[in-house]
Amino acid sequence: MRSARNALEVDQLSRVFDVSAPWLNRMIDRKPKRYLRAVQDVTFVVERGKCLALVGESGCGKSTVARLVTGLYRPSEGAIVFGPSSDGRPMEAQMIFQDPHASLNPRWRVGDIIAEPIREFGLREGSDAIDGRVAELLHTVGLSPDDAKRFPHEFSGGQRQRISIARALASEPEFLVCDEPTSALDVSVQAQILNLMRKLQDELGLTYLFISHNLAVVRHMADRIAVMYLGRIVEAADTEALFANPQHPYTQLLLQTIPDVVSPNRNRQMMGGEPPSPLEPPTGCAFHPRCPIATEICQSIAPDVRPRQGGGTIACHLASRD
């Protein structure tokens, strides 16, 4: 740990997937093994009680980072270090997924879904105490204690996400990894769930790693934002600073795609082209084929991550230096 203020430190994290065809097919076709770099040299810290957002288009490696941090994948390289929790043991992260339909067992009653981690970690003794804790958790996420008797399919998408949050809270985590927790929901419901997550963060002192493809969603959640492109963090800064003065051309384009409430008819520039495949990454800076200001150096040399003017980090040859 570099600092006791940090809940999580991630250092030079990389993850490579072997996506080769089966051995026999490779022999017949005389094809080599193929590797996909989903995450490369990703470094960030999450301060205690704060929210760091990872933002970027689909396929840029956000969920892979989430799975690495929660231990579902092993890193190919790099380090993931959690700080001590308030009781001195290493902090453990709980994950909230995008699709609450897929992550809740349809054959279990909601009460049993939420009670499982309480039983597993032995957090309450006896069924009265466990039932009481389940009722308390349902209340915390804005549901009724009676909902414990019902099944997941009896609830709307937003309510199901509330159930997922209650289950994640059941093991009394201090760190939550939220992978697109509102992306499957209607816009009005999204706002309710985001408000709930903010409220829980304040009341329970939680630390969040919050993942979204949508900069508008993270604006009101995140203290700090890291923008990812093809497996790497290209710009990271405090939320205010990033919105006020985006310096990477990719961040600038992402910001321009956000609908503008003040002048909705403004001529919004759309992001050109598809993100490239991590199986065949472009040479040099991976963003150069879509970058409106790329020059020769961008085509040949990958930019280093360096300090960003006004705080944070940036990886771009053309961003001005301090």
Ligand X SMILES: Nc1ncnc2c1ncn2[C@@H]1O[C@H](COP(=O)(O)OP(=O)(O)O)[C@@H](O)[C@H]1O
Residues forming contacts to ligand X in the complex (CB under 6 A) are 17, 19, 36, 38, 56, 58-64, 278
Locate 144 and state its tokens: 């009724």
**CB-wise, 278 or 312, nearer to ligand X?**
278
Locate 100 and state its tokens: 């609450």
Residue 80 touches which of ligand X, Mg ion, none (Cβ within 5-8 Å per kind): none
Locate 26 and state its tokens: 């490779």
C-alpha Rg value of the chain to the nearest Å: 21
**CB-wise, 202 or 274, nearer to ligand X?**
274
Residue 181 touches which of Mg ion, ligand X, none (Cβ within 5-8 Å per kind): none
Residue 242 and residue 215 in contact, taking contact as beta carbons nearer than 8 Å: no
Residue 89 and residue 121 in contact, taking contact as beta carbons nearer than 8 Å: no
**CB-wise, 63 or 201, nearer to Mg ion?**
63
In the complex, the residues that contact Mg ion under the rule CB under 5 A are 63
Q: Least CB distance from residue 216 to ligand X, whole Å?
A: 17
Q: Which residue is nearest to Mg ion (CB)?
A: 63
Q: Least CB distance from residue 322 to ligand X, whole Å?
A: 30
**CB-wise, 72 or 301, nearer to ligand X?**
72
Residue 34 and residue 77 in contact, taking contact as beta carbons nearer than 8 Å: no
Residue 36 touches which of ligand X, Mg ion, none (Cβ within 5-8 Å per kind): ligand X
Residue 19 touches which of Mg ion, ligand X, none (Cβ within 5-8 Å per kind): ligand X
Q: Least CB distance from residue 258 to Mg ion, whole Å?
A: 19
Helix (H, G, I), strand (E, B) or coil at 202: helix
Element (H, E) at 69: helix 62-69
Residue with tokens 């006791």: 4
Residue 38 touches which of ligand X, Mg ion, none (Cβ within 5-8 Å per kind): ligand X
Query: Could you tell me which residues come within 8 angstroms of residue 148 by beta carbon, excluding any fewer than 6 positions away?
Result: 109, 110, 111, 114, 131, 134, 135, 138
Q: Least CB distance from residue 317 to ligand X, whole Å?
A: 24
Q: Least CB distance from residue 251 to ligand X, whole Å?
A: 16
Q: Least CB distance from residue 315 to ligand X, whole Å?
A: 17
Residue 255 and residue 215 in contact, taking contact as beta carbons nearer than 8 Å: yes
Q: Least CB distance from residue 220 to Mg ion, whole Å?
A: 21
153-to-28, 40, 105, 106 alpha-carbon distances in Å: 48, 39, 10, 7
**CB-wise, 13 or 319, nearer to ligand X?**
13
Residue 75 touches which of ligand X, Mg ion, none (Cβ within 5-8 Å per kind): none
**CB-wise, 14 or 63, nearer to Mg ion?**
63
Residue 17 touches which of Mg ion, ligand X, none (Cβ within 5-8 Å per kind): ligand X
**CB-wise, 57 or 172, nearer to Mg ion?**
57
What 181-186 contacts at long range (C-beta under 8 Å, 24+ apart), as own/partner pairs, is 181/96, 181/97, 181/98, 181/210, 182/212, 182/217, 183/98, 183/212, 183/213, 183/214, 184/98, 184/99, 184/100, 184/101, 184/157, 185/157, 185/158, 185/161, 186/157, 186/158
